[in-house]
Amino acid sequence: MNHFEFREGELHCEDVPLSRIAEAVGTPVYVYSSATLERHFLVLAEAMARAGLKGEEGGPVLIAYAVKANPNLSVLATLARLGAGADTVSEGEIRRALAAGVPATRIVFSGVGKQAGEIAFALDAGISEINVESEPEMRLVSQVAQRVGRPARIAFRVNPDVVAGGHAKISTGGAEDKFGVSFSEAERLYAEAGSDPWLEPMGLTCHIGSQISALAPMEAAFRRMRELVERLRARGLSVRRLDLGGGLGVPYFNQPEPPSPADYAAMVARVTDGLGIGLAFEPGRLIAANAGVLLAQVLHIHERPEGRRFVVLDAAMNDLIRPAMYDAYHDLRPVHPRTGALSAFDVVGPVCETSDTFTRDRDLPPLEAGDLVAFMSAGAYGASMASEYNSRLLVPEVLVRGSNWALVRPRPTYEDMLSREAMPPWLD
């Protein structure tokens, strides 16, 4: 469920008509709903509590929102107030999470290529867990921990060799993928880390892919993770946390219906029954995707004599790259739908690439130049992947709460864009 609805013929975000934001800020612009962000977090947290899932020391599970899905500070702060943690993949994301009020004790640091400086920063900040993805990385974390004089709480990211995810580019849990260590490596490294005074191995983690629409591959992966916990414990090693990653799919319009948070939580409860371990999760898309839209304006309707019809928008692949990169489907809704029969359009942006095509042959109601349209389900991996390709200004972001709204990332000016660069002395 989300808070983007038609009222009196116009698409609203909560109580704010989208045309009001377009008038004030211009287009393209991302618009996020606070109520939807909160609802998605709370539905998940409640489903987990109801299924009896526990965090460390019997407290609530750690829901570490995957910052990369939507790192806007106001989005992070909205979730932090509900008790969310943060799953981060860079020093920049750790800094964002801290700046938005996420306590360090709820921050997890993932990623296959953490650098020494980033690890030192994470240890100084006192974050909850560093997810170690390889043997050389384990050695680096130990060296850095010794240098800063703080032992590192680590979890090993295990690659469960289960392929899942909505697209090959977002599947991460196969043996061919770059992420994590194998089960046998995990067992060896965990024991080794246990005898390193600068490492405190406290758990295991896995993340097998994104936009996963079936429970079975997750359940298979989680069962294998449980077996590993049991093998490590049988060797006398302490395993206190099992971080099961993110990846649960969201109901994108006209895509297979993903499992509900309740069914997901029940599955996790089944798999971890009696294990007595603190659980953590790293959802990104599930929280943010349907909490945002990309609002754009129709520039032209361009009809080819041979029949193809193009809707040219002022939004482009640099603002929303998911269709070009992952063949992603985004529902497209006119903000003030005109009456009339549906007909097929190709929807494109102004960037000089054929891949700057949001969709082909999409049946849409009548559209005219000047109409506003909204790409739905654009709150995750939308603004966070936006660029200034073609020297188009970075897309701004707005957060709505009830009848209030605020510009939470303004559109830069052209002066801002140019002032980030410098001429070498020989050209100055």
Ligand X SMILES: *Cc1c(COP(=O)(O)O)cnc(C)c1O
Closer to ligand X at the Cβ: 210 or 297?
210
Q: Work out whether 246 is an interface residue with ligand X (CB under 6 A).
A: yes
Residue among 199 and 208 whose Cβ is closer to ligand X: 208
Contacting residue, 85, 217, 247, 259, with ligand X by CB under 6 A: 247
Using an 8 Å Cβ cutoff, are 55 and 75 in contact?
Answer: no
| Closer residue to ligand X (CB): 190 or 281 | 281
Give the DSSP letter string of 21-79. HHHHH-SSEEEEEHHHHHHHHHHHHHHHHHTT---GGGS--EEEEEGGG---HHHHHHH
How many CA atoms within 13 Å lie on the side-chain side of 42? 10
**Cis-peptide, bond into residue 71, ω within 30° of zero:** no
- 66: contact with ligand X by CB under 6 A: yes
| Pick 106 or 207: Cβ nearer ligand X | 207
Instruction: Return the range that interacts with ligand X (CB under 6 A); candidates 223-231, 239-247, 326-334, 394-402.
Output: 239-247
Say how far apart CA 218 and CA 207 lie, in whole Å.
Answer: 9
Q: Nearest 5°: CA angle at 131, between 126 and 137?
A: 100
Nearer to ligand X, 280 or 335 (CB): 280
Residues 144, 119 contacting (CB under 8 angstroms):
yes
Q: How far is the CB of 243 from ligand X (least distance, A)?
A: 9
Binding mask 119-158 for ligand X (x = CB under 6 A): ----------------------------------------
> Which residue carries 């500070």 as its tokens?
73
Token digits for 402?
């009830």
Q: Which of 160, 245, 292, 382 binds ligand X (CB under 6 A)?
A: 245
**Which residue in 16, 61, 69, 154 binds ligand X (CB under 6 A)?**
69
Contact region for ligand X (CB under 6 A) — 51-59, 64-72, 145-153, 401-409?
64-72
Chain centre to alpha carbon of residue 31: 16
Give the CA count within 13 Å in the CB-facing half-sphere of 83.
Answer: 12
Comparing CA positions, the residue from 251, 385, 214, 259 lying closest to residue 316 is: 385
Sequence-separated (6 or more) residues with CB below 8 Å from residue 297: 22, 27, 28, 313, 314, 370, 371, 372, 373
Size of the site for ligand X (CB under 6 A): 16
- Nearest residue (CB) to ligand X, 80 versus 380: 380
Of the candidate residues 70, 78, 110, 318, the single one contacting ligand X (CB under 6 A):
110
Site string for ligand X, 346-385 (x = CB under 6 A): ----------------------------------x-----
Residue 165, phi-psi category: left (phi > 0), alpha (psi -120 to 50), beta (remainder): left
Stretch that binds ligand X, among 15-23, 39-47, 63-71, 383-391 (CB under 6 A): 63-71
Distance CA 277, CA 389 (A): 46
Rounded to the nearest whole angstrom, what is the least distance from the CB of residue 284 to ligand X in the complex? 3
Q: Does 72 bind ligand X (CB under 6 A)?
A: no
Question: What is the distance between the alpha carbons of residues 282 and 132, in angstroms, rounded to a whole number?
Answer: 15
Closest distance of CB 286 from ligand X, Å? 6
Residue 230 is encoded by which pair of tokens?
């049991």
Residue with tokens 């061919």: 176
Active site residues: 352
Q: For ligand X, which is the closer residue by CB, 67 or 298?
A: 67
Tell me the pairing of strands 278-281 and 241-243. Answer: parallel
Residues 378-397 as x/- pattern, contact with ligand X by CB under 6 A: --x-----------------
Site string for ligand X, 190-229 (x = CB under 6 A): -----------------x--x-------------------
Ranges within 260-289 binding ligand X (CB under 6 A): 282-286
Q: Rule CB under 6 A: choose which of 14, 71, 77, 87 binds ligand X.
A: 87
Binding site for ligand X (CB under 6 A): 66, 68-69, 87, 110, 207, 210, 245-247, 282-286, 380
